Structure 1
Amino acid sequence: MTECQLIVDPPQPGSWNMAVDEWLLNRAADEGVMTLRLYQWRGATLSLGYFQAYEDRQSHATSLDCPVVRRASGGGALVHDRELTYSLAVPPGHALAKSTQQLYDAAHTSLIAVLTQIVQPVGAEFTRCRETDARGNGEPFLCFLRRAKGDVIYTSDPKSTTSKANPLVADGSFKICGSAQRKHRGAVLQHGGVLLAQSPQAPELPGVAELTGQGINAQQLGELWTSSVADQLGLELTKALPFSVGERKAIRAVETDKFGNDSWTRRR
């Protein structure tokens, strides 16, 4: 069993959320502390992947009024609104830092088990995507319109009575969770989000509530998921103490210098 601190945060601005994740990654590299964090966002927020051009956000009209932050991880843009977000900071030398696909798959497999338990879908299933879509230069702006190997997908049997009653799922499958990773001095940060419900700022993306007809409480999902993740990854979870004055000062410095800084957000 590996000792792992558990942090459950209230909704916070995007720049603070990204600064905390970066600080946890740095702490994992410097002090060998593993952390599992669950968090949400204060108001619908657009996060750009590290490699995306800032101007590309103009292509997505419904999120133009959202505040924007740039992640240090790659992937497509995310509209963080009606979702539960998580991060895992893994220290260097740990087996999971050396096998990042195993980390990706384990986090998503544990989520699938919990979603199936809560929703108990009829004529449908939550599964992991088998392969990455090859889209060439036509890659969609939004992350949830992309598919990577291991993403969590909701797929319905079009012949089932439930599917026929829901035009959303009658003809296809939908991504409801994806994750991204970043390495730093041997440590790994993995973070991602679960689409609980459709956001007015991203109406093309149905969440679990629209796909299954059943709403999911973020707190309930978080409690069950942390237990499932711990079992999958062999973690002994300990609730972390609130950030000290010094820790908050260090996180605020990361926010001011980087994620809350316009030069970082518009760097591409």
Structure 2
Amino acid sequence: MTWNLHILPNSRMSAAENMARDFMLLERYPNPESIRLRHYSWSRPAYTFGLSQSHQYARSEIQVRNADLIRRPTGGGVVDHQHDWTYSLIIPAGHPLGTLPPVETYKSIHQCIVRALQSLGAKVALNEEASTSTVPSVCFEKPEVYDIVLDNLSAKVAGAAQKRTKSGYLMQGSIWKPSLPNVDWTDYYNAFIDELALTAKAHKSFVSWPGWDEEFAANCLSRFESDEWNKRR
């Protein structure tokens, strides 16, 4: 089978809009057999936190009190998005990367990021050691297994959160740009796209946003804006 990698336009949105957009790309993409990649930024200071985390805990950890604080549809810890490079990747359920154990999919995608960053001279590596901590975390405080760290150091520079449904695999990832001050992020994105296409054995193409049903899109946004979602635990 020939696979396609669809690169969506870069966008700048609120935290709730970004989470809704990722969810729609996972569950209602008109070409569900295509891999979907999206790079995005934030229209105002924002933090996101994992699906199973406590809202009260997440609120206690953020440093900008008027920032958006939105629960992700994926797991993971509290992420500060003020200075990060953010992306989402959706792999269809039938793709070989989508059928691996989640930790192996995570490793494969992060290997693409490592190679892309290394091609630009960044000294980064995969963290091979599993964390033994079971307490809630702020994402960049400590690396988990197969997170990306500065080479020969324990400083985490990239991590991601995952969700797998019958529609496919969603990875929401973040790279902490202040740790990589010499990286040209346009060059990085192009290198990452190339590495991802090679790993996924996919033909890359730049596509437009799909025209989702307005009611469905509005309902998704309302969900991620709601206290029912964000304060569910």
- Same fold by TM-score greater than 0.5: yes
In the alignment, residue 231 of structure 2 is paired with which amino acid? R
Q: Is 1:94 aligned to residue 95 of structure 2?
A: yes
Which residue of 174, 177, 190 corresponds with 1:196? 177
Give, in whole Å, the separation in 1 of the partners of 2:216 and 2:62. Answer: 35
State the aligned residue count. 231
Q: Distance in 2 between matches of 1:86 and 1:135?
A: 26
How far has the Cα of 1:97 moved from its partner? 1.4
1:260 aligns with 2:232: no
CA distance in 2, matches of 1:149, 1:29: 34
30-39 or 105-114, which moves further after superposition? 30-39
Q: Deviations over 1:115-136 (max 9, x none)?
A: 1222x25xxx311111221013
Q: 1:130 aligns with which of 122, 128, 131?
A: 128
The residue number in structure 2 matching 1:227 is: 194
Q: Which aligned segments of 4 or more residues in structure 1 are displaced greater than 6 angstroms?
A: none
Determine the C-alpha separation between the residues in 2 that align with 1:21 and 1:84.
15
What is the Cα deviation at residue 247 of structure 1? 4.7
1:14 equivalenced with 2:15 (yes/no): yes
Q: Residue 153 in 1 paired to residue 166 in 2?
A: no
> 1:180-230, CA deviations, whole angstroms, 9 ceiling, x for partnerless residues?
111112511112111112xxxxxxxxx222xxxx2x333232122111211
Distance 1:191 1:217 in 2: 21
Q: What is the TM-score of this pair, normalised by structure 2?
A: 0.90
**Is the Cα–Cα contact under 8 Å of residues 85 and 176 in structure 2 kept in the other structure?**
yes
Q: CA–CA distance in 2 between the matches of 1:49 and 1:265? A: 10
Once residues 61 and 259 of structure 1 are traced to their aligned partners in structure 2, the CA distance between those partners, rounded to angstroms, is 19
Percent of pairs with identical residues:
21
Alpha-carbon distance between aligned partners in 1 of 2:45 and 2:130, rounded to the nearest angstrom: 28
* Letter in structure 1 aligned against 2:21: V
* Alignment map for 1:2-151 (pairs within 5 Å): 2-27=3-28, 31-60=32-61, 62-99=63-100, 100-118=102-120, 120-121=121-122, 125-137=123-135, 139-140=136-137, 142-151=138-147
| Alpha-carbon distance in 1 for matches of 2:226, 2:189 | 31
- The Cα shift of 1:47 comes to 0.3
Q: Is the 8 A contact 1:29 1:185 kept in 2?
A: no
- Structure 2 residue 145 is matched with structure 1 residue 180: no
Q: Please, which moves more after superposition, 59-68 or 179-188?
A: 59-68
Q: What SS does the aligned partner of 1:72 have? A: coil
- How far residue 109 of structure 1 moved from its aligned partner, in angstroms, is 1.0
Q: Does 1:250 align with 2:216?
A: yes
Distance 1:58 1:40, change over 3 A: closer
Question: Whose radius of gyration is greater, 1 or 2?
Answer: 1
Once the two structures are superposed, residues 161-198 of structure 1 have per-residue CA deviations (whole angstroms, 9 ceiling, x without a partner) of xxxxxxxxxxx42111111111112511112111112x
1:208 is matched with: 180
Alignment CA distance shift 1:235-1:247 (3 Å):
farther
The answer for unaligned runs of 5 or more in structure 2 is none
Matched residue SS, 1:177: strand
List per-residue Cα deviations over 1:22-58 (Å, max 9, x = no partner).
1111136994342111111112201011111111134
TM-score (norm 1): 0.79
Q: Which residue of 2 aligns with 1:203?
A: none
